[in-house]
Structure 1
């Protein structure tokens, strides 16, 4: 079996080898640009990993894996427009480097290119793979819409938040694993179990991200600690704090949420102190561990030998052990 690094290198080479027409340059250059910004390529690598686990040819699965990567980057291009984000992986976003109209149209072409790549799977499983890909794509869009809705809502329920991150983040992990398993020759039952593994792990990963945004080491986490607090982003921690806070704590938290002029460091410190008093970190960590456990339970039911499943166990362990 290939190592994760081997599979990531396969994807990286595949991305580099993707070719697009030269004209009109404004349509195709942004696609090459966003794909060249890099990233860990974990989603397409998961597809190859699942294929490899079941004895399939990982190299033959590269086109559908690239479809997952192109689709993921398409969502980033459009999400950045909606978020008015100036940077992506430390570089100017497509709509900033060109303009929003170019970004929208290039993103549209990326979606079409993703379908052209996914269509390269064996005809025997094409209909099943397309159904998974379609359901995954719709789920990601639904998750983004829920996330935008939450920005306008005063209160969000924990259950609704968990469903949002399942759709926006986790279904793409599950879909990639399910497609890879089918390409590798897995049964529908095993493919479904790998999909469950990916979704549960994806939810756990996002919960960990919420925790690290407040409590992580910025030098190791790779993001601005407290960014979610500064922007009033509705994370698990904020939603839980709003649920638990009463009287003076509730009033203080609401004052910070309503403030339009503030010192960012002061706000982060004050809201973090409220989180500490309410022990919301413990609630978030408990939920994270629950979803991680459910992921491993799904993986345990896959009808492969333990040595083959260790592949994904090691991946999950690496994903969930991040620097604090």
Structure 2
């Protein structure tokens, strides 16, 4: 790691620590305890804090300062937490970020209410930084929530369908994942009054970074080290999820290979003992390499969008981040 890379990694860690601290204090002394204690529980779960970082560096790139957008950065993390609470309910998940999910720790009604409240708290935090371009900022934030909900709906719909296409999958991951990173970059620029050209470039960076991030998640599920990933590799196969890898394999497979893939749909997943066989099938069909190329393509699109932005530390941080994410192992 070069000196500049070490500096940027340190900057990122500082942001993560600051966001963690602000989130831990956000709801202190708010009542009733019955809602704010579980709200605090979900906000204190340790995550990458990638989305707040995108808000901050986007603002910095177009001439703003972190201090101008920190409330907005906190807002997007609160919003992200809201989506996770409701996702966990719909998926009936037991764990999130290494801890018991909210609806398991408390109860279903509490978790639903917490998710609703987090959505409102996200707006409360966002509005503190809205001095100019208020309508566009709030509209962008709101449209993102609509997109995320639509994406989650498509994801659940796909579980019931056996004819999902790769094109449909990309629409779904744009809405569920990439729209959020796109919004983070856009509002970061809008709050500090970036010009139209800069806002478009920031938005394109966030969108393409988000697409690469989700396909990378799909890939890591099958190739990552379990200890680093923090969950069993191949869990998407076990759960019968229609990921980039699965849908690309369906496009390419014939004969017995196609029959093996159709078994995943018919049985709503596979046994853990079968994971290695399907991983080998993916390798034989070349879908792991296809995924890597797609990740590289979206990352390149994200990086290319930076060329119209000022060549300053903010832009360099965005460049660094894209390269870090493409090489991540968890």
Q: TM-score range by the shorter chain?
A: over 0.9
8 Å contact kept, 1:166–1:203 = yes
Report the count of equivalent residues: 322
Task: State the distance in 2 between where 1:285 and 1:190 align.
Answer: 29
TM-score by length of 2: 0.92
Which residue of the partner structure matches residue 177 of structure 1?
185
Q: Flag as ranges the 4+ runs of structure 1 deviating above 6 A.
A: none
The CA deviation string for residues 149-178 of structure 1, in whole angstroms up to 9 with x for no partner, is: 110010211111111111111111111111
RMSD: 2.0
Which residue of the partner structure matches residue 298 of structure 1?
305
Task: State the distance in 1 between where 2:264 and 2:114 align.
Answer: 39
**How far 1:256 moved relative to its partner?**
4.4
In the alignment, which of 43, 64, 70 is matched to residue 78 of structure 2?
A: 70
Which residue of the partner structure matches residue 200 of structure 2?
192
Which residue of the partner structure matches residue 288 of structure 1?
295
Structure 1 69/91 Cα, relative in aligned 2: closer, same or farther at 3 Å?
same
Task: State the distance in 1 between where 2:87 and 2:269 align.
Answer: 26
User: Mean alpha-carbon deviation: is it higher for 57-66 or for 22-31?
Assistant: 22-31
**How far 1:207 moved relative to its partner?**
0.9
Task: State the distance in 1 between where 2:270 and 2:143 align.
Answer: 42
Task: State the distance in 2 between where 1:84 and 1:148 align.
Answer: 12
8 Å contact kept, 2:229–2:329 = yes
User: Mean alpha-carbon deviation: is it higher for 149-158 or for 220-229?
Assistant: 220-229
Task: State the distance in 1 between where 2:150 and 2:268 align.
Answer: 30
Tell me if 1:311 matches 2:317: yes
TM-score by length of 1: 0.93
The CA deviation string for residues 53-110 of structure 1, in whole angstroms up to 9 with x for no partner, is: 2232312311111110111001111110000001111111110111111110111111
**How far 1:306 moved relative to its partner?**
5.5
The CA deviation string for residues 19-48 of structure 1, in whole angstroms up to 9 with x for no partner, is: 255433222211000011121211012111
In the alignment, which of 109, 118, 123 is matched to residue 115 of structure 1?
A: 123
Task: State the distance in 2 between where 1:114 and 1:234 align.
Answer: 31
Gaps in structure 1 of 5+ consecutive residues: none
Task: State the distance in 2 between where 1:22 and 1:290 align.
Answer: 46
8 Å contact kept, 1:155–1:239 = no
Task: State the distance in 1 between where 2:312 and 2:65 align.
Answer: 20
Tell me if 1:35 matches 2:43: yes
Task: State the distance in 2 between where 1:46 and 1:286 align.
Answer: 24
8 Å contact kept, 2:131–2:191 = no
**How far 1:219 moved relative to its partner?**
2.3
8 Å contact kept, 2:60–2:314 = no
Which residue of the partner structure matches residue 282 of structure 2?
275
Superposition pairs of residues 145-224 of structure 1, within 5 angstroms = 145-224=153-232
Gaps in structure 2 of 5+ consecutive residues: 1-6
